Homo-oligomer: A and B are copies of this chain.
Amino acid sequence: MATSVVVAGTLIGYAMKKMEAPQNLSVFPTGEANTGYARYFTGQSWLAPLTSMKELNVPMSNVTFEPGCRNNWHSHSGGQILIAVGGAGYYQEKGKAARRLEPGDVVEIAPDVIHWHGAAPESWFSHLAIECNPQINNNAWLDPVTDAEYAEAVK
């Protein structure tokens, strides 16, 4: 009986943890659970759209990753810009060493470059993500970043 209570408590605690992201990780909103892209992520992420004026052609969101969370290998035909705003994370292009990201770091991702980004193992991470050339942009989602690839990238 005592064991059941502990297990139930742990499960409830885990479910609650999955629903919440720290609200003071950056000065930008954290938004909602990133369910739309969840199938392209390892771990839990959150998404807060920051713009809505379509004719500006600069769609921008704040993306928040729990520790260890990262997206799959992928590319954008229009390119992408990341602006690190909270916590610590990583960016890696296929075949290159990963780059650690801290608030203030800006990443320019050329069209069709295969890459991933996400949190450090020990830290939450938020970055603004700008979709470039949205008039022609398509995203190509590839394989997950394996635990071995991630461990090698962040070591």
Docked complex: A1-47 residues within 8 A CB-CB of B? 26-29
Question: Is B50 a contact of A106 with CB atoms below 8 Å?
Answer: yes
**Residues B52 and A108 in contact, CB atoms below 8 Å apart:** yes
Q: Complex: how many Å from CA A130 to CA B58?
A: 9
A132 and B27 contact, CB distance less than 8 A: no
A51–B82 Cα distance when bound, in Å, is 11
Q: For A79, give its contact among B28, B56, B78, B130 (CB under 8 Å).
A: B56
This protein's copies in its complex: 2
Of the four ranges (under 10, 10 to 19, 20 to 34, 35 or more), the interface on chain A belongs to 20 to 34
The 8 Å CB contact of A81, one of B26, B27, B60, is B60
Interface residues of A (CB under 8 A from B): 26-29, 50-53, 55-58, 60, 78-81, 83, 85, 102-104, 106, 108, 110-111, 128, 130, 132-133
> Nearest Cβ in chain B — how far from A133, in angstroms?
6
Option from B26, B56, B79, B106 in Cβ contact (under 8 Å) with A108: B56
CB nearest to A106 among chain B residues: B50
How far does the alpha carbon of A50 sit from the alpha carbon of B107 in the complex, in Å? 9
Given contacts A51-B81, A55-B111, A60-B106, 20 further A-B contacts (CB under 8 A): A26-B104, A27-B85, A27-B102, A27-B104, A29-B104, A51-B108, A53-B79, A53-B108, A53-B110, A55-B110, A56-B78, A56-B79, A56-B108, A56-B110, A57-B57, A57-B133, A58-B58, A58-B81, A58-B130, A130-B130
Give the residues in chain B near A50, CB-CB below 8 Å: 106
